[in-house]
Amino acid sequence: MTREIPDKPALEGLEATWGEVWEAEGTYSFDRARAIETGKSNVFAIDTPPPTASGSLHIGHVFSYTHMDLAARYQRARGKVIFYPMGWDDNGLPTERRVQNYYGVRCDPTLPYTPDFTPPQEGGEGTSGKAAEQVPISRRNFVELCEKLTVEDEKKFEELWRTLGLSVDWSQTYRTISDDSQRTAQRAFLRNLARGEAYQADAPTLWDITFRTAVAQAELEDKEVPGAYHRVSFHKPDGGTIDIETTRPELIPACVALVANPEDERYKPYFGTTVRTPLFGVEVPVLAHPLAQIDKGSGIAMICTFGDVTDVIWWRELSLPTRPMLGFDGRVMSEAPQGIDTDEQKALYAELAGKTVFSAKARMVEMLTESGDLLGDPRPITHPVKFFEKGDKPLEIVTTRQWYITNGAKNEDLRERLIGRGKDIAFHPDFMRVRYENWVGGLNGDWLISRQRFFGVPIPV
């Protein structure tokens, strides 16, 4: 029997037809028996980062996974045994945010569980982004909605990947929130803890005020944002002033010192002396540190707890006190920092209490103008500011108790071992090895692993 060649090829249903054939014949299944027979060196294992199951895939996902699929097909054609699973990253911030907007809810762990809870909406895509418009529900109810929506999203993701024809072994799938994944992560943590590699500490922490959670260094990105330099006078005991320039005048109540470069002749006479902060009159020392830039602003800066990462370095290396003034919500706390003790000082601080950073800055500029401590008009600039990669507001630095794992940032021997392990890997192209070494060398803090989330892997202690 001969098959007639159609005048015009039909493409409809082609993906589904061949997808069923590949599935039935196990075309892309991992051949464990052959892997054992031919040895580990003949196995080509692919460990791609699982896509975040929180919405819809876009062309960037398709572009990235097509690249990896080309590598899989090439190695398969060379006779390698391919191990190519597919996973779903379905816990944490992105999932929670999608659930909040999709169902119009937010988690309030103080509330009791409601059996047979029905969310106020289904299908919202950002229409209920404000917390005030979302219905508060218990953590258990919230987690149930997270589980439900991630499963639905993952089915859509898999359907798209199958339609694309990715040569994935669909019998090898995993979820980062599954019981197996949670147990694996928790066992690894307990091993870290037993080896002394995991520890808990109160420390300055990069904090996202929208998600109310700590953020790790690997999750940061710099964005260029508009700002302004404000030239502000600090008062010397002899009645003179030392003028600093700052983009964050609202943090003056949190000021713990002034700092200049030890080679800066302008400020050498003042090292070891004290000045008083504008408005509040809190006495702070004038110190020297090589990170202070002679050619930046007026060459002398105020150290606050905390305005940026450099403040943290100065605070730690100069053994300075802590005067926190921003809460986890990004607003000025009602309780004044240490040193603001008199009724007059407290009355000035009350002008800022409860305000957002933006509003507090505006009010502080008004107060400095009224007191004569603001010199001239603010000078507009554009400068890089750190954001959480999934956030839309600048990060703040607050003091919290978190879990960390050592990564070489504070241990030179560990850092050298990590770089040495990198040399054992054949990077293609080779400049990626240099990028890895630069990344390890640039770590400025241990790996922060704890998050203030509701839908995630609990730390087993």
Q: What is the pLDDT of residues 276-291, one digit of tens each?
A: 999 999 999 999 999 9
Q: Over range 332-343, report the average pLDDT.
A: 93
Average pLDDT (382-401) is: 89
Residue 213 has pLDDT above 70, yes or no: yes
0.85 exceeded by pTM: no
175 pLDDT higher than 80: yes
CA dist 292 and 299 (Å) reads 7
The CA–CA distances, whole Å, from 328 to 156, 209, 254, 270, 402 equal: 36, 6, 15, 36, 14
| Domain at 16-177: CATH architecture | 3-Layer(aba) Sandwich (3.40)
What whole-number distance in Å separates Cα of residue 276 and Cα of residue 283? Answer: 4
pLDDT of 129 strictly over 90: no
Q: What is the pLDDT of residues 53-89, one digit of tens each?
A: 877 788 888 999 999 999 999 999 999 999 999 999 9
**What are residue 214's phi and psi, to 5 degrees?**
-75, 155
Phi/psi for 88 (5° steps) reads -130, 125
CA torsion sign for 175, 178, 184, 189 is positive
Q: What's the pLDDT at 3?
A: 65
How many CB atoms are closer than 10 A to CB 427?
Answer: 13
Q: What is the pLDDT of residues 300-327, one digit of tens each?
A: 999 999 999 899 999 988 989 999 999 9
More confident residue, 1 or 122: 122
Which residues belong to CATH 3.40.50.620 in the chain? 16-177
Q: Which of 55, 63, 135 is nearest to 100 (CA)?
A: 135
Which of the four pLDDT bands, split at 50, 70 and 90, describes residue 148? very high
**pLDDT averaged over every residue in the chain:** 91
The tens digit of pLDDT for each residue in 338-365 reads 999 999 999 999 999 999 999 999 999 9
Residue 31 has pLDDT above 70, yes or no: yes
Q: Is the pLDDT of residue 1 over 90?
A: no
pLDDT digits (tens, 9 = 90+) for 88-107: 998 888 888 889 989 999 99
| Class (C level, CATH) for 224-388 | alpha beta
pLDDT of residue 126 exceeding 60: no
> Which residue spans of the chain are classified as CATH 3.90.740.10?
224-388
What confidence tens digit (pLDDT) does each residue in 130-139 have? 666 889 999 9
Please tell me the number of Cα atoms within 13 Å of 400 on its side-chain side.
Answer: 22
pLDDT for 9: 76
Q: Using 50, 70 and 90 to split pLDDT, how confident is the model at 455?
A: very high
pLDDT in tens, 422-442: 999 999 899 999 999 999 998
Choice among 176-190, 257-271, 384-398 with the minimum mean pLDDT = 384-398
Per-residue tokens: 101: 């907007």
Looking at residue 130, its pLDDT comes to: 66
Q: What is the reported pLDDT for 212?
A: 85
CA 262 to chain centre: 34
Torsion of CA 118, 122, 125, 130, to 10 degrees: -20
> Average pLDDT of 183-195?
97
Cβ atoms of residues 331 and 346 within 8 Å: no
Whether 147 has a pLDDT exceeding 90, the answer reads yes
Q: Which residue has the higher pLDDT, 131 or 421?
A: 421
| Residue matched to tokens 């090829």 | 9
